[in-house]
Structure 1
Amino acid sequence: MIKTSRKGEWLEIIIPEEWDGTSVQDLFRTIWNAPKKLTHSLRMEKGVRINGQGADWTVSLNQNDRLDIRLFSEQDFGIQPSYHDIAILYEDDHLLVVNKPSNMDTHPNSPEETNTLANATAYHLLSQGEYRQVKHVHRLDRDTTGAVLFAKHSFIGSILDHMLEKREIKRTYLALVEGILKVKKGSITEPIGRDRHHATRRRVSPSGQKAVTYFEVLKTDHKQNLTLVKCFLETGRTHQIRVHFSHIGHPLAGDLLYGGKPTFSRQALHAVKLELTHPFTEEKIICHAPFLDKQNIFTGIDPYSI
């Protein structure tokens, strides 16, 4: 694990053996895939130091050098912090993972909206004396529950965005679908596009965007005619799991928008686990999201066993 620590506005990184001989420029460009605009801004504002001195971005770093990057200057939240009781699954100086309850949007769609996970996360930071423009790296539907990843500053946010695109952030979902699936393990590879007859609904469409959902059957309930499946996403299209299972004739229980029966008051979908390698420390982060729903949709399932 790479040694890092926060020193006021600065992040201190002790250069590990594997970075010996790497220049600051290569570190930003190749290892972190940092965007050019942010990198240029740090260069112009003298926001990078090596062993206490202004960095020469082209000179090779040596093992045990001290690299300092100014990442923690105060910022306006960009949204209104608003108190809501939320469960933090993981947090450090750069990112946090929150367990989203049902009946809550991930982020506001208008300035006056305050009943969202992003508003609640901003309040959580404010209560700790942290002034950050917190940013969701991905999102969940209003009535989907589970783990959501947030970035605490723009630099880590851009790195996490790139990791998400490269599928280096793994998200595991649990879904209860109607009917008994005959195939125990497989994938659904159907493109998804907008439904021109409905403002919010999506549908499988030849002209849509590529969408791939992998699934594995965990449990079947013949009495209630339901199947519990574990899902992984190669892509992250809006309503992807809901659309795909509806398309193959197994809509999610409670998902009225996509043909499900009103078994529950919401679609039976939960983001149960989130995994990534920390960009700075290279620590493996695994977050399991306990079930918050009072309906006990996933009765008898241990989220920590997934």
Structure 2
Amino acid sequence: MLKTERKGNWLEMIIPVKWTGKTLEEIFRTEWKAPKKLTHSYRMEGKVLVNGDTANWNKALQPNEKLLIRLFEEEEVSGTPMFREVEILFEDDHCLVVNKPPFINTHPNNLEKDTNTLINAILYYMQAKGQLVNIHQIHRLDKDTSGAILFAKHALAGAILDRKLENREIKRTYIAMVHGILKKKKGLIQEPIGRDRHHPTRRRVSQSGQDAVTHYECIKEDMQKQVSYVKCWLETGRTHQIRVHLSYLGHPLVGDVLYGGKPSIKRQALHAAKLTFDHPITEERIICHAPFIDEQPIFKDIDIYLT
């Protein structure tokens, strides 16, 4: 875990031993894999200091030197803040993890017309704290899916987390309730997913689609209702991935009428129960569990802390 401290608009970071001899250019490009345009802006705008002086980006750094980066600045916020209660699972100066309720979009498709989304609620929450920043969404959840979702509070954290997501270093664990009793209680679904040409929003398993990998494990069965509770974790993040893959197995999600489920509940029974990632700045391992929040409980007697 790296030693850091916020000082006003600046983040102070103590150079660790493992960075001995590396230049700032190498840290931004190799360690953090920050985009060239972002790195260039920090460099040209003098937003990085070493021991209080303007940084030499090509000079080797030494342990215990103080690196200062101007990460925290007010921004012109894109979107309309709208009040709605939000459940915070984790928050610091760099990241925010929220327990998303069902029946709400994560982000607006139209900044002026769509104001009742999770992003709008977070903007209100942030402004109420005096933080005028644009939130960067790292991954997404479907409108009717609930659970943990990760956001970044500034551009550098967003860039690092985007890269971690691309490299499959952010682990997302879901709980689904599906129709039927699974014959194989644990397995791997590795089938490509593409668009369904006959439906505007539906996806399907297609050999011409994108690679998609879902791990699953049955954690509970209800023989009377003929449903199973399944833990899933993803290596990829394709649209509707869990819904498509479990339907492909012959076990569609309860409530997921788009993929063959029966409408016995008001939404597809899918909840992002756990989110695990290494912090983009401090490298601390962050583990967030998201409590079930349906007013009429869907997932009964399931312990999210065992996921």
- With the length of structure 1 as denominator, give the TM-score of the two structures: 0.98
Note the C-alpha offset of 1:29.
1.0
Contact 1:145 1:271 in 2 (8 A): yes
Give the structure 2 partner of residue 226 of structure 1: 227
Note the C-alpha offset of 1:294.
1.2
Give the structure 2 partner of residue 261 of structure 1: 262
- Partners of 2:263 and 2:142 in 1: CA distance: 18
Structure 1 spans left out of the alignment, 5+ residues: none
Note the C-alpha offset of 1:63.
1.0
**Structure 1 SS opposite 2:299:** coil
Q: CA RMSD in A?
A: 0.9
Give the structure 2 partner of residue 202 of structure 1: 203
- Partners of 1:77 and 1:233 in 2: CA distance: 32
Q: What is the percentage of aligned positions where both structures have the same residue?
A: 59
- Partners of 1:193 and 1:54 in 2: CA distance: 50
Which string of whole-angstrom CA distances, capped at 9 and with x for unpartnered residues, describes residues 39-90 of structure 1? 0111110111000001111111111110011111111221111111110000
The one-letter amino acid of 1:101's match is P
Give the structure 2 partner of residue 110 of structure 1: 110
Structure 2 spans left out of the alignment, 5+ residues: none
Note the C-alpha offset of 1:305.
2.2
Give the structure 2 partner of residue 14 of structure 1: 14
**Structure 2 SS opposite 1:41:** helix
The one-letter amino acid of 1:277's match is D
Runs of 4+ in 1 over 3 A off after TM superposition: none
Which string of whole-angstrom CA distances, capped at 9 and with x for unpartnered residues, describes residues 263-305 of structure 1? 2110000000000111211111000000001121110112122
Give the structure 2 partner of residue 135 of structure 1: 136
2:155 is the counterpart of 1:154:
yes
**Structure 1 SS opposite 2:232:** strand
2:85 is the counterpart of 1:85:
yes
- Partners of 2:59 and 2:106 in 1: CA distance: 43
Contact 1:243 1:258 in 2 (8 A): yes
Give the structure 2 partner of residue 174 of structure 1: 175
Give the structure 2 partner of residue 44 of structure 1: 44
**Structure 1 SS opposite 2:149:** strand
Give the structure 1 partner of residue 240 of structure 2: 239
- With the length of structure 2 as denominator, give the TM-score of the two structures: 0.98
- Partners of 2:221 and 2:284 in 1: CA distance: 36
**Structure 2 SS opposite 1:304:** helix
Note the C-alpha offset of 1:146.
0.1
The one-letter amino acid of 1:71's match is L
